[in-house]
C-alpha cells in the first residue's frame, strides 16, 4: 500500500514539473535545464525532494527508485544518473 501511495504522489509531482522539463527540452537545452534545476533546489522539505526527483526523472539519463535530493542540491549536467535508494 505504501509503495502504491508513493508511486501516485511521484506521478502527481511529474505532472507538476512537466512544463519545466518540456521547456528544458527534457535535459537537452542546457540553459533551461540549469535554470529549473537551481529553481527546484530552493524548495524545502519532502515537497521539495519530490519536486527535484520528479524533475530529474524527466531530464536526467536515469533516476532510480526511492531517491531523495535534499534542499540546495542540484545537478549541473543532464547526462548524470542516479541509482536506486540514493540520497543527495
Strands (E), the chain: 62-63, 81-82
CA atoms within 13 A on the CB side of 36: 27
What length is written for the chain?
88
Q: Which of 71, 43, 75, 68 is nearest to 53 (CA)?
A: 68
pLDDT tens per residue across all 88 residues of the chain: 888 998 899 999 999 999 999 999 999 999 999 999 999 999 999 999 999 999 999 999 999 988 999 999 999 999 999 999 999 9
pTM of the entire structure?
Answer: 0.92
Amino acid at each position: 500500500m505504501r509503495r502504491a501511495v508513493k508511486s501516485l504522489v511521484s506521478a502527481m509531482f511529474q505532472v507538476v514539473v512537466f512544463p519545466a522539463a518540456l521547456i528544458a527540452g527534457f535535459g537537452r537545452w542546457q540553459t533551461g535545464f540549469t535554470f529549473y534545476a537551481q529553481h527546484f533546489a530552493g524548495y524545502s522539505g519532502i515537497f521539495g525532494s519530490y519536486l527535484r526527483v520528479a524533475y530529474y526523472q524527466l531530464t536526467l539519463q536515469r533516476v532510480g527508485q526511492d531517491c531523495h535530493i535534499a534542499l540546495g542540491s542540484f545537478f549541473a549536467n543532464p547526462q548524470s544518473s542516479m541509482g536506486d535508494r540514493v540520497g543527495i
